[in-house]
Structure 1
Amino acid sequence: MYAPDTITEVTLSTAALPLATPISDAKVFTGRQKPMTEVIFLFAEIKSAQGYEGLGFSYSKRAGGPAQYAHAKEVAEVLIGKDPNDIAKNYVSLLWAGASVGRSGVATQALAALDIALYDMKAKRAQLPLAKFLGAHRDSVRTYNTSGGFLNASLEEVKAAASRSIADGIGGIKIKVGLPDTAEDIRRVTAVREHIGDVPLMVDANQQWDRATALRMGRAFDDLNLMWIEEPLDAYDADGHARLTTALDTPIATGEMLSSVAEHKNLITKRACDIIQPDAPRVGGITNFMQLLTLAHEAELDLAPHFAMEIHVHLAACYPREPWVEHFDWLDPLFNERLETEDGRMLVPERPGLGFSLSEQARAWTTDSVTIRR
């Protein structure tokens, strides 16, 4: 017989992960953003009366980290005394606790860390990896590397990083485009295609093209056998993405910047992509992400979640269609465990829950922390 458990403690902390090299994508070259020098994380650690623990995280690049932390601190107390197994019910309670700031953006990103921690705890209770707990279709997923393909790197550096990734068992390479000089974009992509041969290749414009440029560049890339063109247009231009999806042979991927189920549903309804790229920490956690998987599968879309491979390897493994997961090594210092790649695929961890624990380095990078107890 099931004995109800209760949440007794929630610890929230924020940490700044420094990047070894300032990172630039197209948004830097168009003057809209500065190079990225760090990633801010929100960690949630939840404990229950029966001795179970869960770890979840959200993140922010360039701005928003302090806001996520502040919102989480305001609403997390509603979890105290609740049954941690009632994840959907608890999520609704968190939403209503912060309803005045809406159900997207910072509000849902703050809740994501708590939601993911509850799933981590529940899978650990069942002594199952999260993917197995949710219902996996596979024990590994295709993976591609992004961290070696930024625009601050020279073409020779990008090619060398691609070679290292392939040697490490990663199955695809994504590089950034969207430079003001479109001829340079074409030169770099063509050179990388020649360098890696038939290895899957993707490009990412980070929303920096207008509709005419996106169509012209898409047609230029159609002969390079790309897996997809990512975020060719503004993230909220669903109509423009839909036109590109129809006009180009190369698949269109987008969705990473959206922070609600409703925003993704608009993409799906308008057939604005071939490959949808939700981000669990951005859309509010696993509760919302799993809703998106159902909608995407019904629309026969492919899946390639954005960033946070430590979470997405589990969620992608639950998608009926063969997905891709983005490989970033940036987060490695935060955790004691590592994901493994082999023959172009990322292996789903066999450890219970997410299968990750915070490292001493993550603790050292923590800038503030608060514990809420009964």
Structure 2
Amino acid sequence: MSVAPSESVAFKPFASAPGEASTDRVSAIRLSLVFLPLHAPISDAKVLTGRQKPLTEVAFLFAEISTEGGHQGLGFSYSKRAGGPALYAHAQEIAPELIGEDPSDIARLWNKLVWAGASMGRSGAAVQAVAAFDIALWDLKARRARLPLAKLLGAHRDAVSVYNTSGGFLSTPIEQVLENIDLARSRGVAGIKLKVGSPDPRVDLARVETVREHLGDGVPLMVDANQQWDRITATRVGRVLEKFDLTWIEEPLDAYDAEGHAALAATLDTPIATGEMLTSAHEHAALIEAGSSDFVQPDAPRVGGITPFLQIMTLADYKGRSLAPHFAMEIHVHLSAAYPRTAWVEHFEWLEPLFNERLELRDGRMVIPDRAGLGLSLSDQAAAWTKEAACFGEGA
């Protein structure tokens, strides 16, 4: 219908009664602590330098939120090695703050939950516990709108470039790494990330050279030092790595060394990526403002959920950075799709047993699910791996 410039479009007046969405309230919350076992222990550079033990399991905090109107949302946070029980304990203390609240007021509720435990701080374990609630509220809002989360946020693409990390750990012999690469590529993955940061950099360089030769030119290849280089080592090794045409070098320095990362980013032609270990939007802002990386790597469960993640996205976009979120592809495929600039998503098949649904890989990209919300539901296996659970509100 065309409208003449002098005409106006007649809109129907709002109904006198408020809509269902504005009167709905949170009625019940279920929390669960789930331990997902890995098939075999894995090690990155932090293990080889003696700072951590091999990873054997991942702890998950799940939050399932229900409303009086019959709507539901699912969210989760996680911890590798220590920390899972702490997330669960903190979540139990603050969960009652949501009962009776309007689930649409996500930003306000995020602040309420953070301030409920403010003496624990506004980063770290405190906000990682909040993340499970925040993600569940966003999932609920998108489900109620009958939209995938990416579409609710406003998608820039229907699929996101994807790279695999799980096949390239330092604990994996190079022959197995090559087999893992072939398997990942056959499944539809575009890029490959290889762990580096060995005590002897020559070992790293030999592995990178082998993988580059195996992949051939033009296939995206990333390396990840997991914060185990000092500034001198990162500069020297980074210069040698230039010849391999890497998509990025990840976490070459300590996660909080904004100055060092910025100097490295200015020195090397290879892009720098970092940020996965940061646990607040403010910490990310410090790195972005300092010019510490070409790719920002926030992790929604670690920074406190989707609400602070969107703040990071806004600043990163303003500063012209690319986006490559860490882990949790089930959440990050939606957030990367809603980012206006270059974006990647990290492929880890580890979490697949926790959910009934699977994400689709096609032509090097991960497809946004057409299901509402995150498009996830917990599997029977997740229930079997549940160690503790607690309910709040209606029927608790």
Q: TM-score, normalised by structure 1?
A: 0.99
Superposition pairs of residues 7-86 of structure 1, within 5 angstroms:
7-86=26-105
Q: Quote the residue 1:276 is aligned against.
A: 296
Task: Name which of 223, 228, 242 aligns with 2:262.
Answer: 242
Asked whether 1:107 is paired with 2:134, we answer no
Q: How many pairs are equivalent?
A: 374
Letter in 2 for 1:2: G
Look up the SS of the partner of 1:170 in the other structure. coil
Deviations 1:164-206 (A, max 9, x none): 1111110000010000111010000010000011210000000
How far apart, in 2, do the equivalents of 1:126 and 1:332 lie? 26
Does the 8 Å CA contact 1:297/1:321 hold for their aligned counterparts?
A: yes
Letter in 1 for 2:256: Y
Q: Quote the residue 1:322 is aligned against.
A: 342
Asked whether 1:210 is paired with 2:206, we answer no
How far apart, in 2, do the equivalents of 1:216 and 1:66 lie? 41
Look up the SS of the partner of 1:319 in the other structure. coil
1:2: Cα distance to partner? 1.6
Task: Name which of 172, 176, 187 aligns with 2:206.
Answer: 187
Look up the SS of the partner of 1:122 in the other structure. helix
Q: Which has the larger radius of gyration?
A: 2
How far apart, in 2, do the equivalents of 1:357 and 1:263 lie? 32
Letter in 2 for 1:105: G
Look up the SS of the partner of 1:10 in the other structure. strand
How far apart, in 2, do the equivalents of 1:266 and 1:222 lie? 27
Look up the SS of the partner of 1:107 in the other structure. helix
Deviations 1:67-119 (A, max 9, x none): 11111100110000001111111111111111111110000100000000000
Look up the SS of the partner of 2:208 in the other structure. helix
1:322: Cα distance to partner? 2.2
Asked whether 1:2 is paired with 2:19, we answer yes
Look up the SS of the partner of 1:39 in the other structure. strand
State the superposition RMSD in angstroms: 0.6
Does the 8 Å CA contact 1:141/1:322 hold for their aligned counterparts?
A: no
Gap regions ≥5 residues in structure 1: none
Look up the SS of the partner of 1:20 in the other structure. strand
Deviations 1:37-64 (A, max 9, x none): 0000000000000000000000000111
How far apart, in 1, do the equivalents of 2:178 and 2:159 lie? 26
Letter in 1 for 2:109: N
How far apart, in 1, do the equivalents of 2:318 and 2:135 lie? 24
Q: Quote the residue 1:233 is aligned against.
A: 253
Look up the SS of the partner of 1:346 in the other structure. strand
1:243: Cα distance to partner? 0.5
Asked whether 1:266 is paired with 2:283, we answer no
Structure 1 residue runs of 4 or more that deviate by more than 6 Å after TM superposition: none
Q: Once the two structures are aligned, what percentage of the paired residues are identical?
A: 63
Letter in 2 for 1:124: R
How far apart, in 2, do the equivalents of 1:332 and 1:54 lie? 19
Look up the SS of the partner of 1:330 in the other structure. helix
Q: Quote the residue 1:221 is aligned against.
A: 241
How far apart, in 2, do the equivalents of 1:74 and 1:26 lie? 35
Does the 8 Å CA contact 1:14/1:369 hold for their aligned counterparts?
A: yes
Q: TM-score, normalised by structure 2?
A: 0.94
How far apart, in 2, do the equivalents of 1:88 and 1:208 lie? 36
How far apart, in 1, do the equivalents of 2:66 and 2:144 lie? 12
Letter in 2 for 1:271: G
Gap regions ≥5 residues in structure 2: 1-17
Look up the SS of the partner of 2:194 in the other structure. strand
1:261: Cα distance to partner? 0.7
How far apart, in 1, do the equivalents of 2:186 and 2:30 lie? 40
How far apart, in 1, do the equivalents of 2:342 and 2:272 lie? 17
Letter in 2 for 1:148: G
Superposition pairs of residues 248-259 of structure 1, within 5 angstroms:
248-259=268-279
Asked whether 1:343 is paired with 2:360, we answer no
Letter in 2 for 1:171: A
Task: Name which of 93, 110, 117 aligns with 2:136.
Answer: 117
